[in-house]
Structure 1
């Protein structure tokens, strides 16, 4: 009996030993633990898009759909709203050679958004009209806030605006901030979406539409500052509650450098700082690269030359990672492309209103340089810019020289509506907790 018990006990020890050995071998030879892979943003195709053009009676709106261009008349004083597949672009250009509205003025028809930013001269220097279009089927409630050199100036007058479905609201910004020389304007909806545009007619002469500016960020690139004579004024706004220290780098046709006397500037919280950068870029086409300790928005006021100078505007914009298109162009159009840091390459395709399009061309932009690319389109045509390599920023510039002075307009290359970037979803209790 004792011999049986000892044998059974030994068998148990043997089994335990074998199991322990197998566990040890498995532990030693186990694969290394893999770190969880963080979800990355995804580029996805846009299936449908909408654009709303502010009203200008009698003008033709250029409408670009992938591969085709058409022009549609704006028969009345109501906004022109167009919907179509991904890649839709629309816009128009006006040309006036006399009177208070003398100048070239180009506008990219805006897509409805929950937040929009504009930067430019204030109502003390220009007659600025803000256009709000609700292209959706539900009301939109929005806050319009104006920041000036002295800080936020619009108070509560622009808060809680209700824009009915299909409504087009025009706001003279003198009613919100009549004494502002320079300004940044934010339009934020807390219900619904709005297409936002603004037209500025300067007291000293010249007219153009303010392009949308990139949302506040600590890195901002303002492209498409054309070369030539005339004043160049950089406007930097720090709309948050923290002062911003901003370093400014110019990337011109011949060099990249921190501008002398403008290497670093301080922008008080809630204010807009104007800076004359005319001599800083030396008459060359350029982009301005801003790096800040707090989020900022930025744009440039471009003043032409001559007895009756025209004006144009450009603003901070994303790089051409998603491509871009400009629907309305003319015989004097050119691209101003910049590759901050490393060299970049894009493919440029002209799409005429009729006839076969020419073969696309590949354009290489050297590292830390700006390059002008003359467009060889005739009549009405669209231009499509597709990224090939590197990081490139740019804009479309049009100029016309008259005896009375240069006519000019500029349009930053906004991201094409062919693609969008979806941010990853994250599990969080804040989705259900108050």
Structure 2
């Protein structure tokens, strides 16, 4: 920016509002000298959001639904658009006339009509591509996309779901596997006009795992690459952590974990490494829970393991603590830890704080009718979060407040094909997890979205479980609800003409 030709202050306010790109900036601590303290930041809606959805399945039996939802946000204008298109159907630049014609001819999978009402799109078979979504104006703040797939038979059969994510440069996935009965893919999607370069690192029980082609992987512009983990190494390990580090550009990343006997689901990235973690919303009827953790730094981590149950924080007998060696993946079976009540895992340091990442694998059902899903450690709901694609009877919302009692407002949107909004306020007692009785839109037709808004400062964590019986198997999928980053803090400032003299 040329300071002699452009007002620095005016440029700051405009640029922050336009390029907030679904990011929320915390205001700095107030200065001690009030004459120098900056004015309070204005919190404005973001004006553009980008989301990436991985290719849903390679099975010919796959039936996939995409659901888009933007909550109504104060301060937005009347203009805006949003659409979801094939990641490979977009021209990287103006290019040739043929490229322009191809881009024009590409039909969006879905196009939202108005904030506050979900819209759905469908596809079937194993050829569905990865998708890129872009929302601008009034559709951008808090925009969420849900990809839900039913697979009737074969490896990974069951219900698979994932919240489409914003592109980024680093991802941690504890809980992947190269075992003989697992087929795990890391999906990398590049939405930009230039190629991205990424490294995929694997860490097992003994540390870093040697890989053959994990470094310097090129993801071409406007493309998606599913990378089979077993092609990166000959080692067969039940529990691994994948680290995706993007050297150049940015990508969307998710892991599709498919099991020969236990179905499959998407594993979303864990929240950033931290000394304390929360894994929210383990179903009350879980028959097996396996915790996988990894310490990326050069120090061991000792964690206290607690379950935030319906009645309060409890320590599982025999699993009071977890020692995680530096650079190594540690896994522990917690069995049917919830014992008929909803719960959330709370991991805290026993002594000094060492950053870790974590996720759990949850199994429901018995014998040959078992299905599995994953819950990564999550960040708090923050200001607001939404989950789309909820039916009248197939959705469960779990809320937990490990550090203190919290009040939470939950709003059910209008239905995708009809219905009116409804809301309810809940009190979540300190250290507990509650499966709340959901408000369902009156006259509901189609599916609806849930929006969670904490009314107190106490951190609240949330996850949403969808269930669907598929061939007698209790299919399910779980998505966490981190802050939707629908607003950005823009500093208030005054024009200072002295910058023109510098």
TM-score range for the pair, normalised by the shorter chain length = 0.7 to 0.9
TM-fit CA distance, 1:386 = 1.4
- Listed as ranges, the matches of 1:151-300 within 5 Å are 151-155=207-211, 157-177=213-233, 178-292=235-349, 293-300=353-360
Give the aligned partner of residue 59 of structure 1.
64
- CA–CA distance in structure 2, aligned partners of residues 86 and 210 of structure 1: 25
Range moving further from structure 2, 298-307 or 349-358: 349-358
- Provide the secondary structure at the position in 2 that maps to 1:305: strand
Per-residue CA deviations over 1:10-35 (Å, capped at 9, x if unaligned) read xxxxxxxxxxxxxxxxxxxxxxx859
CA distance 1:246–1:308, change in 2 (3 Å): same
CA distance 1:244–1:139, change in 2 (3 Å): same
- CA–CA distance in structure 1, aligned partners of residues 286 and 252 of structure 2: 34
Give the aligned partner of residue 3 of structure 1.
none
Range moving further from structure 2, 128-137 or 356-365: 356-365
CA distance 1:176–1:254, change in 2 (3 Å): same
Q: Give the one of 92, 114, 121 matched to 1:72.
A: 121
Give the aligned partner of residue 129 of structure 1.
185
- CA–CA distance in structure 2, aligned partners of residues 249 and 37 of structure 1: 42
Give the aligned partner of residue 24 of structure 1.
none
- Provide the secondary structure at the position in 2 that maps to 1:276: strand
Spell out structure 1 runs of 4+ moving beyond 4 A: 33-44, 420-423
Give the aligned partner of residue 434 of structure 2.
371
- Provide the secondary structure at the position in 2 that maps to 1:174: helix
Give the aligned partner of residue 361 of structure 2.
301
TM-fit CA distance, 1:297 = 0.4
Range moving further from structure 2, 272-281 or 306-315: 272-281
TM-score after normalising by structure 2? 0.73
Aligned residue pair count: 391
- Provide the secondary structure at the position in 1 that maps to 2:56: coil
- CA–CA distance in structure 2, aligned partners of residues 368 and 222 of structure 1: 13
- Provide the secondary structure at the position in 2 that maps to 1:314: strand
CA distance 1:279–1:357, change in 2 (3 Å): same
Per-residue CA deviations over 1:47-80 (Å, capped at 9, x if unaligned) read 2111111123762311112312111344753212
- CA–CA distance in structure 2, aligned partners of residues 327 and 312 of structure 1: 18
Give the aligned partner of residue 45 of structure 1.
45
Q: Give the RMSD, CA atoms, in angstroms.
A: 2.5
Give the aligned partner of residue 144 of structure 2.
89
TM-fit CA distance, 1:372 = 0.3
Per-residue CA deviations over 1:307-329 (Å, capped at 9, x if unaligned) read 32000110111111131111222
Decide whether the 8 Å contact of 2:51 with 2:145 is kept in 1: yes
Decide whether the 8 Å contact of 2:119 with 2:416 is kept in 1: yes
Unaligned runs of 5+ in 1: 1-32, 424-434
- CA–CA distance in structure 1, aligned partners of residues 305 and 44 of structure 2: 34
Decide whether the 8 Å contact of 2:312 with 2:430 is kept in 1: no
Q: Give the one of 444, 450, 473 matched to 1:383.
A: 450
Range moving further from structure 2, 178-187 or 274-283: 274-283
- CA–CA distance in structure 2, aligned partners of residues 309 and 39 of structure 1: 56
Alignment partner of 1:102 is 2:162: no
Alignment partner of 1:139 is 2:195: yes
Decide whether the 8 Å contact of 1:323 with 1:386 is kept in 2: yes
TM-score after normalising by structure 1? 0.83
Decide whether the 8 Å contact of 2:190 with 2:220 is kept in 1: yes
TM-fit CA distance, 1:162 = 1.7
Range moving further from structure 2, 192-201 or 112-121: 112-121
Give the aligned partner of residue 315 of structure 1.
376
Give the aligned partner of residue 464 of structure 2.
396
- Provide the secondary structure at the position in 2 that maps to 1:299: strand
CA distance 1:256–1:39, change in 2 (3 Å): farther
Q: Give the one of 385, 397, 409 matched to 2:477.
A: 409
Bigger-Rg structure (1/2) = 1
Decide whether the 8 Å contact of 2:294 with 2:328 is kept in 1: yes
- CA–CA distance in structure 1, aligned partners of residues 340 and 266 of structure 2: 23
Give the aligned partner of residue 23 of structure 1.
none
- CA–CA distance in structure 1, aligned partners of residues 311 and 482 of structure 2: 25
Range moving further from structure 2, 373-382 or 213-222: 373-382
Decide whether the 8 Å contact of 2:284 with 2:341 is kept in 1: yes
- CA–CA distance in structure 1, aligned partners of residues 192 and 40 of structure 2: 31
Decide whether the 8 Å contact of 1:153 with 1:176 is kept in 2: no
Range moving further from structure 2, 236-245 or 258-267: 258-267
Decide whether the 8 Å contact of 1:128 with 1:173 is kept in 2: yes
CA distance 1:231–1:387, change in 2 (3 Å): same
Give the aligned partner of residue 11 of structure 1.
none
TM-fit CA distance, 1:418 = 1.0
Per-residue CA deviations over 1:227-268 (Å, capped at 9, x if unaligned) read 114101111111222111111121111221232222222111
Decide whether the 8 Å contact of 1:248 with 1:289 is kept in 2: yes
TM-fit CA distance, 1:421 = 7.0
- CA–CA distance in structure 1, aligned partners of residues 484 and 200 of structure 2: 26
